[in-house]
Amino acid sequence: MSNVRVRFAPSPTGFFHIGSARTALFNWLYARKTGGQFVLRIEDTDKERNTDEALQVLLEGMRWLGLDWDEGPEVGGDYGPYFQSQRNEIYDKHLEILRDKGLAYDKEGAVFFKISEEPQIIEDQVRGRVERTEEKDFVIYRSDGSPVFHFVNVVDDLTMGITHVIRGEDHLSNTSKHMELFKGLGAEPPVFAHIPLILKQEGQGKMSKRDKGALIGEYQERKFLPNAVVNYLSLLGWNPKDDQEVMSVDSIIEQFDFKGIQKGGARFDEKKMAFVNTEHLRALVPQAFQGLAREVLADLDIKEGDYFAEVMQLAQPKASSLETLNSYVDYFFKDDFVRQQSVLEKISKKGDPKEKIEQVLAAINSVEGWTVVEIENALLRLARQHGQEKPFAWFPTIRWSVSGLAGGPDMIPMLQVMGRERVIRHLEKAKKLLN
């Protein structure tokens, strides 16, 4: 247990942006690394947009990523309320403090904060020493009586005992305002760490919600593994200073530090994201993989029994994502799969597929049992009958017949798992299609 207290203070807008998620992640990592507290505070001052539905998108996204909060909505805590909309008294009280010190004054119906005009020196944990001077007094209460972001942000951080503010670089220039406010309220500012922004994959500027891959909900829908998303996000602007890239969340927590945070913006790369996801998928223990696979394959009529587990054992080492798993294995579980015409055209160039199917059927019918060795031997015999060392020339045709595809799990184990009857049924059907 340490005295570190960090926070993530999102505004519920109805979507959970990847940049916000990474800010949340870095705060969470730091809390877990130091044994501190991770506070979730909701900046719900915009009454129009802040619906309960929008809040749930955020909370579900956080939970999905595994970013559990020690204080905040649903869990409470000693520093509440955790919704800005419920903290007006606290803000008003702090406004009085500034008024009493002569640091707040009314003008044009609004309340302004009187700046000190001294340079504010930020010892930023990522950027080092940053110096900036505020040039003019700024509004802290609008003429409608509501407090503005800079003020509530500082008051909340102060009253919630936040020790480290880890946030996006877009706030770096605002920090001098915040420092002045902390000092005006008679408090030591927290430690700041400004992390680089996530940039668009293509084009200029930071990721916007319209960009592909910008929303956490997309990864949820596409059945990415949350740990993989966390892994990739952690690598966007941070690294453990060695060659590790595919890491468990525990390992990331253990190695996380401010020194490893990058200064420049990081461009998002969906291909690398997919790569990290594939690696995590392969690393899953078979039971975990099968559990997830059952969910994504729910539409297939899969009966209980060993067959499913065996198919998954074939698929897991080669499948690239849960999102595409269905198309990778569906033919194991149904007879009405589509045999791709383009694949047929390709294999037809290397000989008559119908002839090959007949040859394979004949070879298979002579097999006693249905072990990998027996299937392999049968196909080897077939190959030798045609003066060939190995039966690879028949593989594309077999694959097309039993799966309709050009690729998939290893050929012989796949046939073994499918079972003799099913293989023969598919071959016969394929043959018929070629008449």
Near RNA by CB under 7 A: residue from 93, 101, 318, 384: 318
Minimum CB separation from RNA for residue 3, in Å?
26
Stretch that binds RNA, among 250-258, 283-291, 374-382, 402-410 (CB under 7 A): 402-410
Which member of 51, 88, 159, 174 binds RNA (CB under 7 A)? 174
Does 206 interact with RNA (rule: CB under 7 A)?
Answer: yes
Helix (H) / strand (E) element for 158: namely helix 149-159
Q: Please name which of 363, 364, 355 lies closest in space to residue 435, comparing C-alpha atoms.
A: 355
Q: How far is the CB of 251 from RNA (least distance, A)?
A: 16
Q: What are phi and psi of 41, to 5 degrees?
A: -120, 135
The residues, any chain, with a CB within 8 Å of residue 242's CB and separated by 6 or more, are none
264 binds RNA (CB under 7 A): yes
The CB-of-303 to RNA minimum distance in angstroms stands at 22
User: What is the token pair recorded at 278?
Assistant: 């594939």
Q: Are 249 and 114 in contact (CB under 8 A)?
A: no
Name the residue nearer to RNA (CB basis): 52 or 368: 52
Task: Closer to RNA by CB, 49 or 63: give it.
Answer: 49
Among 92, 117, 118, 170, binds RNA (CB under 7 A): 170
Other CB atoms within 10 A of residue 312 CB: 23
The answer to whether residues 139 and 104 touch, using CB atoms and an 8 Å cutoff, is no
Q: Site map for RNA, 37-76, x if CB under 7 A?
A: ------x-xx------------------------------
Q: Which is nearer to RNA, 135 or 301 (CB)?
A: 135
Cβ-contact 38, 27 below 8 angstroms: yes
Euclidean distance between CA atoms 306 and 418, whole angstroms: 11
Q: Does 403 bind RNA (CB under 7 A)?
A: no
CB of 28 within 8 A of CB of 67? Answer: yes
CA distances in angstroms from 304 to 11, 213, 294, 336, listed in the order given? 45, 36, 11, 20
- CA–CA gap between residue 22 and residue 344 (Å, rounded): 46
Position 15 contacts RNA (CB under 7 A): no
Shortest distance in whole angstroms from residue 175 CB to RNA: 8
| Cβ atoms of 182 and 113 closer than 8 Å | no
Query: Binding pattern to RNA, positions 366-395, x when CB under 7 A?
Result: ----------------------xxx-xx-x
Instruction: Output 186 or 317, the one with its CB closest to RNA.
Output: 317
Query: Segment 85-144, which members bind RNA (CB under 7 A)?
Result: 107-110, 127-128, 130-132, 138-139, 142-144
CA distance 143 to 153: 19
**Min separation Cβ 35 and RNA, Å:** 25
- Using CB under 7 A as the binding rule, whether residue 258 contacts RNA is answered as no
User: Contact between 173 and RNA (CB under 7 A)?
Assistant: yes
